[in-house]
């Protein structure tokens, strides 16, 4: 199926050139869609209700349904979404699913950092509009223009053009740009990257952690079995020691009367003598 998905991606790209091969490409595309439909039917038959418990299966099902939309009619515009079939490569490669899963798990942490970034950008845009709006209206004439300029500065794309225009009217304006770029491009954006990297480490480490837990469980069971075996051996040794002790006691108890009788016999013989 991964080979079919990659072939489908090649067909979609080739079809953008048009030409005489387009009818043949469309025929092959219909064949690929048929394979996707057969695969989906087999999955639904094999997994029954369990098919809907996986979000990736929902994604595959939606992509296949979109592929079946006719090229004409009111829903023809949705045909452009057929390019989403290329994204099925994500569901076919487990490592890709792990990366996407890690990104989704990083969303809560990224939301906090991105919220902080938006606050900084919005505040800086208002400050820049108030300080540079009259002298450089093409970059800071209103809030919308200023926000767009702040975004460009954050990406460090052509930011010298903006700063040079401002410095021509405000010699100390460089302080604002240096502080803003260091704060956003070098600090806050790196926090976003840090959150994503941490989430990916946790996602990829989860499999290793489960393997370690299984290995520890096997080792624990082996140690417990060995302890049970040693306990059984100790119990047997204790039983043997008790049996040997009882045998010695019985032997000592049987010899004492014979000794006393012997001593009494020897005393009677001395008396007669």
Q: Which domain does 56 fall in, by range?
A: 2-92
| 122 lies in the same domain as 146 | yes
Whether 247 is covered by a domain: the verdict is: no
Q: Where are the alpha helices (H) located in the chain, listed in sequence order?
A: 2-15, 22-47, 55-67, 88-92, 94-105, 107-132, 137-140, 143-154, 159-167, 174-181, 189-272
Query: What are the pLDDT tens digits along the chain (273 aa)?
Result: 888 888 888 888 888 887 788 888 888 888 888 888 998 899 899 988 888 888 778 888 888 888 787 766 566 566 666 677 777 777 777 778 778 878 878 888 788 888 999 999 999 999 999 999 889 999 999 999 999 999 999 988 888 889 889 999 999 889 999 999 999 988 988 888 888 888 778 777 776 666 777 788 888 888 888 888 888 888 888 888 888 777 777 766 655 444 444 444 444 444 444
Provide the domain count of the chain.
2
Whether 66 is covered by a domain: the verdict is: yes
Whether 254 is covered by a domain: the verdict is: no
Round to whole Å and give the CA distance between 232 and 246. Answer: 21
Q: What is the pLDDT of residue 132?
A: 92
| 109 lies in the same domain as 66 | no
CA atoms within 13 A of residue 231's CA, in its CB half-sphere: 6
Whether 266 is covered by a domain: the verdict is: no
| 121 lies in the same domain as 146 | yes
| 77 lies in the same domain as 117 | no
| 84 lies in the same domain as 148 | no
Whether 197 is covered by a domain: the verdict is: yes
| 84 lies in the same domain as 169 | no
Model pTM score: 0.55
Q: Cβ atoms within 10 A of the Cβ of 22, count?
A: 13
| 84 lies in the same domain as 153 | no
Q: What is the pLDDT of residue 47?
A: 87
| 16 lies in the same domain as 87 | yes
Q: What is the pLDDT of residue 118?
A: 92
Whether 242 is covered by a domain: the verdict is: no
| 127 lies in the same domain as 209 | yes
Last residue of a domain, one of 219, 251, 267: 219
Q: What is the pLDDT of residue 209?
A: 65
CATH number of the domain that 185 lies in?
1.10.287.70
Last residue of a domain, one of 203, 219, 235: 219
């Amino acid at each position: 199926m991964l080979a079919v998905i990659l072939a489908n991606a090649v067909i979609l790209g080739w079809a953008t050139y048009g030409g005489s091969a387009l009818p043949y490409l469309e025929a092959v595309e219909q064949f690929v869609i048929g394979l996707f439909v057969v695969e989906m039917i087999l999955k639904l038959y094999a997994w029954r209700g369990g098919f809907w418990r996986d979000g990736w299966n929902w994604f595959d099902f939606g992509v296949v349904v979109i592929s079946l939309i006719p090229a004409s009619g009111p829903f023809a515009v949705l045909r452009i979404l057929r390019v989403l079939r290329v994204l099925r490569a994500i569901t076919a490669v487990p490592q890709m699913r792990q990366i996407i899963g890690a990104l989704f798990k990083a969303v809560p942490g990224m939301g906090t950092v991105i919220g902080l970034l938006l606050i900084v950008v919005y505040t800086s845009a208002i400050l820049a509009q108030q300080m540079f709006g009259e002298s450089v209206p093409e970059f800071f004439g209103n809030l919308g223009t200023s926000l767009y300029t702040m975004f460009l500065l954050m990406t460090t794309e052509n930011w010298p053009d903006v700063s040079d225009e401002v410095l021509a009217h405000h010699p100390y304006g460089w302080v604002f740009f240096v502080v803003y770029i260091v704060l956003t491009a070098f600090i806050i954006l790196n926090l976003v990257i840090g959150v994503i990297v941490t989430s990916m480490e946790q996602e990829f480490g989860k499999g290793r952690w489960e393997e370690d837990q299984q290995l520890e469980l096997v080792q624990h069971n082996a140690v417990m079995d060995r302890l049970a075996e040693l306990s059984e051996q100790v119990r047997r040794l204790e039983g043997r020691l008790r049996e040997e002790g009882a045998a010695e006691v019985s032997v000592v108890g049987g010899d004492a009367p014979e000794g006393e009788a012997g001593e009494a016999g020897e005393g009677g013989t001395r008396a007669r003598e």
